[in-house]
Structure 1
Amino acid sequence: MTLFNFAYNNIKRDFKNYLYHFLSCVFSVFIFFLFSTLAKHPALKIVESGSTIGIILFMASIVSMLFSFVLILYSVSNFLRNRSKQFAILNIIGASKGQFNKLIFFENIIISIFALLVGIITGIIFSKIFLMIAQSMIDGLNLYFYFPLIPLLLTVFLMGGLFLLISLIAPVILRKKRIIDLLKKEELAEKNYFLLSLAAVIVILSPTIYFHIKKEFFTFIYILDLLSCISTSYFIFNLIFNVYNFFMEKSGRIYVNNNLIKLSNFKYKVNTNIKTMAATMILFSIILTAFVYIVGAPMNVTEDTEKIMPYSYMYANWEDEAEGERKAKLIADELKSADGFKKLTISYAELKNKARTVRHIILSNTMYNEVADFLNREKINLSDNEYFLVGVDGKSKPILPDVVKNEISDHGITKEIGTDKRIISVSGYFTSVTVISDKSYESISSALVKDRIYAFTQSDLTNGGSEDLANIKKLIGFEEGKESLISYIFYYDFENLTRRLVSYVGSILCISFLIGIASIIYSRLYSSVEEESKKYSIMIKMGLSKAELKDILASTLRWLFILPFITALIISWIIISIMNQMIVTSYTNLTIICSFIYLLTEFILYMTIKRKYQEKILNNI
């Protein structure tokens, strides 16, 4: 019998022990295949790889592959560890190191091949439903069913390569284990690597912080960020447990009730437990933070688009003022039949700059009030020494640039009376907008460049479409590079499509991560049921009641599940608070609602897992 046949028969005769690892591989293939089916859909051929949508689809595939690698590697590690005695016996009866490694390699290759087949077949079966759901969530795309040949080939080569890599890594996991350790694995308590985790944090976190302070961003820094997150999470939970253990010992509370057994039980698997907590916390943080934006992304698209484009159309001619006036009249004649149509010419003075895209502009008080009336905003009244700042991106509070400050201060304008984050042109068109009194404007603008933009609006900004924009450009003889014509509906369609795509892709990833959390906790709790049952059966004979045993088991689960969840919830709130300062929309209210949903879901999951785990242990005793 060859080693390959031996590996195949091992899997065939004892498939139950291989099932968890096999399902992890199948699930990874299934998710990657579905993402590839969406990304390579013929309806998305028009999407450029460097566009926002292209980047979203590409990053989703990368994230799913990285998640698959971690999940499968974690699964392999536990799978091999659970078969330690079998491997030790093989070594005792004469299996060489090379044969031992080949056996593990062949087993993983066989599982990987079957996982690829099952994952791809399952993916093809469910791809139609997947595309139908995607089409219902993502407006404007006809995601019809097609035979996904390219996604199939990508899955075979990329996921197959990933499986091959893991199969090569797998033998290394047990390579340094002594046979006696493998045979008596359940009798060995794990070491606490607190000092090593502290050293890892210092070594990894220090350069990461340095590069961020210096704002030196490159590809490798993202790897440093990930390693910093993992090492810091591991260290923090290690620190929390050591501090808690120290407090319990010094206060004497360790001898109250069953605290000694609870702590000893956690310390027995301290390294595995803390790794599980760190992984669970990281995945929870991603899910909890992402869920807020997944729910909120498709909401308020109309209002949010107005924050980056407040008009139906905006036109500007950069080279010929008379020609710009003529074309603006053509646009107005084309749009004047729309309900609530209005037109405004916004004249301003611009500080001279060699770069066309840098536009520090100054508005007169009267001109700003006309814009405010046009956009239904509050008017202002400035004295000759006062100025007012207007937003340019719809997100951040406007500030007075030094170049503008120097210009207006020479005319005695030094007092700021207010700011408004809302824009008066498409987001990013102006670099800064400063409003001064009419008298001051007449004095300052004489030495500056005069320019103007034309704004057109209507009652319903969403009326029209990309075809209308194309028709207007054709009507005026639009010249790229010499003029600009932007429509609200262009941004609206783009925002709507992007947000819904993010929501859909993010939902699938969140579900994957939730399954990943369940997989990690399942692996930690249920892979050692036999070992735990033997230990607790002896303790019950010594007088431990079933109620006390349930409390001890619940204590372990609280460490593994509840503490990481609470930590992740706090981290999510911090991240969302920071993001609220950087984006157009505030998600605070939605976060509060989602937090209650999180807590309810967490309670249900905790109670379910606790009951199942307790029943499993008690049934085995």
Structure 2
Amino acid sequence: MNFPQFAFNNVKRNGRAYIAYLLSSSFMVMIFFTYAVFIYHPEIKRNPMGPMTQAGMQVAAYVVYIFAIFFVLYSISVFLKSRNKEFGILMILGAKAGQINRLIFLENMLIGAISIVTGIASGLLLSKLFLLLSTKIISMDNLPFYWPIKAIMLTSACFIALFLFISLFTLLFIRKNRILELLKGNSKPKKEPKASILLSLFGAALLSVGFVTLRLGELSPMVIFVAAGSGIAGTYFFYSQLSVLLIRLLQRNRKRTWRGTNLLWISEMSYKIKDNARMLFLVTVVTSVACMSAGFVLAIDQTSKQAFLKNPFALNYTVYNDQFLPAELDHIESEIKAAGVDYKRFKAEISYSRVENSIPGNADIRYISVFSMSTFNELSEALDTRPVQELAKDSAVVLYTGKEIATGSEIKLEHAPGAVIVTDKRKVETLASLSYKEALLVVNDTVFEQMKESLISNETRPSIHYLYTVPAWDHLPAKDEAQSLIGSSLYEWNRNQLNDHQSENYLRIRADDYWNTKQATSLFSFIGIFVALIFSISTASFLYFKLHTELAADSRMYHALSKIGLSTREMSASATKQIAFLFFVPIVISTVQTLVVLSPILSYMKVSYVNQSTFIVALAFLAAQTIYFIIARLRYVNTLKKMMV
């Protein structure tokens, strides 16, 4: 038997340890390859969505590759640590340090080669399905299958370089232990886990700083950077110090700890958390990043859907120059008539006025939209609110979507003849369809006309909007529906008019806004699904590796305990609780971190549905983690059962 055969047999004999690593590596190669298949598709540049989609896929491929570096490095270090005893025996038999290094290098490259071959082969089998699925989700034209030579060469080169670099890199850090220490392997008795109170308090302080910075500070890149840094560092100290301290405090509660098998699994958890602090920290950070990314995209998508449903106007034509207005309105309405649907047109003048005084409780409102009473009453039915009755010259009704203005507030408007008092306030969800401001003011017609004359004398004027309601289009559209097709046609027409300087008027189309947002979020959703899958499978692999390395020590412990009366059922219950803690605690912490981070950021961006989106993502990760937990627990407990007396 030559040396390469010896390395191959080593991999084959350690199949149980290598299988999770091999599958995860193959999956990463497959995802990277399928992204490359999409990026280098010859038809991609001819599609309108092609360049943006191609750029998104490239970013995703970089993320996968960078993560693969850390994943492979961590996995190899775990395997080397678990095989100390094997290396010690080889050295007793006369193996030199150089031969041990060569063995490790060959094994790593063998696993890498198998991963690359199986990953590319799987990618080729699934590439047609990937292209079909990606184009459907992103709403692109179907891309035919092609023979991806560039993708195969790029994937092979990148991952051969990765495995080669890491295999050489790890050899520099192999400890030159004495043979006796190697032979002991992982059987050396562990020291009692200890936690520093000062470091525990420091970790809690870091987590508090991250929370307070996001909640109380004005959002900026520096604030987000400080919050991210303190939150990540605090998470590490939580696992390495604070959690150990909390378990030590729990152990002092004898009434709860000295009940059934609680003493066994709680005591073991203090060791496992301390030993696995870095791994748990890594799993939590990776899961948090995936949850935040997916939660952000879901929240944007849900907000876009609600913005469509709360907008009663299918088209909003803003007029800045009425030179060709009749012909432009005829073109718009002829397109709608061609669809055979009923519509209604409204004309609205809106003034954007500067607020000259400080509104109590709303000092940050410096500009506000202003409507005349008659215009608002004409639109009230479409806006799903009641008309305004009579308004005096010094009174106004405030409509709001977010921060309300209290009744009795005095508002001094630029160009208005005098201050107005808020006599009524209403929350109107459809207000965003008319104004980007959070509040809109309805004033007496005379006051509005006086404001309008003052604006004109200053060479400005209120903006004029022609608004179209189409009852048959008040639902989320499919890509091939009339409102989507007509919307795209009118958008192209308006853009050409503006580019050719034949008009200065801007057409905003509800269906087109919805599809632009949906295409962008669909792209990120599609990319995020596969990146999240890699993160999910890899974190499960991390946990499986750690359980496998501790299996020998745990087997000896449970074998000894079975001799003094521990039953198989009690062993199973204790082991299950420990494994569940390792698998599910990172999910809980990641969910909390996602809520803490996303809530202020999305609120700042005026995006709702944060909690709903976060919990959907968390439940998806929980479901995947539950499957991994069931598989890992079954294999782990079955192995321990064989050691019971």
TM range (shorter): 0.7 to 0.9
What is residue 332 of structure 1 aligned with on the other side?
Answer: 333
Shift of 1:598: 7.5
Q: How many Å separate the matches in 2 of 1:521 and 1:612?
A: 13
Q: How many Å separate the matches in 1 of 2:189 and 2:263?
A: 18
What is residue 393 of structure 2 aligned with on the other side?
Answer: 384
Q: How many Å separate the matches in 1 of 2:620 and 2:115?
A: 34
Identity of aligned residues (%): 24
List per-residue Cα deviations over 1:211-253 (Å, max 9, x = no partner): 97475527x976x766654433332244233223223236465
Q: Does 1:544 align with 2:548?
A: no
- Aligned residues of 2:195 and 2:244 also touching (Cα < 8 A): no
Shift of 1:160: 3.9
Q: Does 1:556 align with 2:582?
A: no
Shift of 1:28: 1.3
Change (3 A) 1:496 1:186: same
SS of residue paired to 1:315: strand
Shift of 1:416: 6.8
Q: 1:243 pairs with 242, 246, 256, which one?
A: 246
**Please, which moves more after superposition, 292-301 or 245-254?**
292-301
Q: How many Å separate the matches in 2 of 1:341 and 1:57?
A: 41
**Please, which runs of 5 or more residues in structure 1 have no aligned partner?**
none
Shift of 1:82: 1.5
**Please, which moves more after superposition, 407-416 or 588-597?**
588-597
Q: Does 1:20 align with 2:23?
A: no
What is residue 133 of structure 1 aligned with on the other side?
Answer: 133
Change (3 A) 1:570 1:497: same
Q: How many Å separate the matches in 2 of 1:111 and 1:518?
A: 19
What is residue 439 of structure 1 aligned with on the other side?
Answer: 446
Change (3 A) 1:194 1:471: same
Shift of 1:29: 0.7
Q: 1:407 pairs with 395, 411, 414, which one?
A: 414
What is residue 616 of structure 1 aligned with on the other side?
Answer: 639
Shift of 1:597: 7.8
Correspondence 1:215-254 to 2 at 5 A: 215-217=219-221, 228-237=230-239, 238-249=241-252, 251=254, 254=257
List per-residue Cα deviations over 1:511-532 (Å, max 9, x = no partner): 3333223322322223332332
What is residue 529 of structure 2 aligned with on the other side?
Answer: 507
What is residue 516 of structure 1 aligned with on the other side?
Answer: 538
Q: How many Å separate the matches in 2 of 1:343 and 1:467?
A: 19
Change (3 A) 1:522 1:405: farther
- Aligned residues of 2:348 and 2:375 also touching (Cα < 8 A): yes
Q: How many Å separate the matches in 1 of 2:205 and 2:251?
A: 31
Change (3 A) 1:326 1:397: farther
Change (3 A) 1:27 1:177: farther
Shift of 1:600: 7.4
Q: 2:465 pairs with 453, 459, 463, which one?
A: 453
**Please, which runs of 5 or more residues in structure 2 have no aligned partner?**
356-365, 478-482
List per-residue Cα deviations over 1:454-501 (Å, max 9, x = no partner): 223423345224234334666899638933223223223223333433
What is residue 360 of structure 2 aligned with on the other side?
Answer: none
Q: How many Å separate the matches in 2 of 1:64 and 1:594?
A: 20
Q: Does 1:483 align with 2:483?
A: no
List per-residue Cα deviations over 1:367-401 (Å, max 9, x = no partner): 2233333444433344434444556xx8x54789x
Change (3 A) 1:296 1:211: closer
List per-residue Cα deviations over 1:290-321 (Å, max 9, x = no partner): 777788887796553355x6533333343x33
What is residue 316 of structure 1 aligned with on the other side?
Answer: 318
What is residue 345 of structure 1 aligned with on the other side?
Answer: 347
- Aligned residues of 2:20 and 2:544 also touching (Cα < 8 A): no
**How many aligned positions are there?**
607
- Aligned residues of 1:351 and 1:360 also touching (Cα < 8 A): yes
Correspondence 1:89-488 to 2 at 5 A: 89-90=89-90, 100-101=100-101, 103-172=103-172, 174-175=174-175, 180-184=180-184, 185-189=186-190, 192=193, 194-195=195-196, 198=200, 201=203, 213=217, 215-217=219-221, 228-237=230-239, 238-249=241-252, 251=254, 254-282=257-285, 285=288, 303-307=306-310, 310-318=312-320, 320-324=321-325, 326-336=327-337, 338-351=340-353, 361-381=369-389, 382-389=391-398, 396-397=402-403, 407=414, 411-415=418-422, 417-418=424-425, 419-423=427-431, 425=433, 428=436, 433-448=440-455, 449-450=460-461, 451-461=463-473, 462=477, 463=483, 464-471=486-493, 479=501, 482-488=504-510
SS of residue paired to 2:471: coil
Q: How many Å separate the matches in 2 of 1:306 and 1:456?
A: 15
Query: What residue identity is the alignment partner of 1:456?
Result: Y
Shift of 1:619: 1.9
Query: What residue identity is the alignment partner of 1:246?
Result: L
SS of residue paired to 1:327: helix
List per-residue Cα deviations over 1:258-303 (Å, max 9, x = no partner): 4443244234444333344444444555666677778888779655
List per-residue Cα deviations over 1:36-77 (Å, max 9, x = no partner): 3334444542467985x5665344334433443343233222
Q: 1:492 pairs with 514, 519, 538, which one?
A: 514
Q: What do you get for the CA RMSD once the two structures are aligned? A: 4.6
Correspondence 1:38-53 to 2 at 5 A: 38-45=38-45, 46=47, 51=52, 53=53
Q: How many Å separate the matches in 1 of 2:61 and 2:202?
A: 29
Q: How many Å separate the matches in 2 of 1:54 and 1:422?
A: 36
Change (3 A) 1:248 1:528: closer
Correspondence 1:29-68 to 2 at 5 A: 29-45=29-45, 46=47, 51=52, 53=53, 56-68=56-68
- Aligned residues of 2:555 and 2:640 also touching (Cα < 8 A): yes
- Aligned residues of 1:314 and 1:485 also touching (Cα < 8 A): yes
- Aligned residues of 1:580 and 1:586 also touching (Cα < 8 A): no
Shift of 1:556: 1.4
- Aligned residues of 1:138 and 1:500 also touching (Cα < 8 A): yes
Q: How many Å separate the matches in 2 of 1:361 and 1:530?
A: 71
Query: What residue identity is the alignment partner of 1:74?
Result: Y
Change (3 A) 1:253 1:585: closer
What is residue 78 of structure 1 aligned with on the other side?
Answer: 78
TM-score, normalization by structure 1:
0.80
- Aligned residues of 1:11 and 1:107 also touching (Cα < 8 A): yes
Change (3 A) 1:600 1:77: closer
**Please, which moves more after superposition, 256-265 or 515-524?**
256-265
Q: Does 1:533 align with 2:536?
A: no
Q: How many Å separate the matches in 2 of 1:9 and 1:589?
A: 51
List per-residue Cα deviations over 1:344-382 (Å, max 9, x = no partner): 2222334599xxxx9864322222233333444433344
SS of residue paired to 1:145: coil
Change (3 A) 1:66 1:542: same
Shift of 1:123: 0.8
List per-residue Cα deviations over 1:524-543 (Å, max 9, x = no partner): 22333233212221222233
Query: What residue identity is the alignment partner of 1:618?
Result: K
**Please, which moves more after superposition, 21-30 or 269-278?**
269-278
**Please, which moves more after superposition, 510-519 or 170-179?**
170-179
Change (3 A) 1:231 1:304: same
Q: How many Å separate the matches in 2 of 1:520 and 1:121?
A: 25
TM-score, normalization by structure 2:
0.77
- Aligned residues of 2:399 and 2:431 also touching (Cα < 8 A): yes
**Please, which moves more after superposition, 546-555 or 408-417?**
408-417
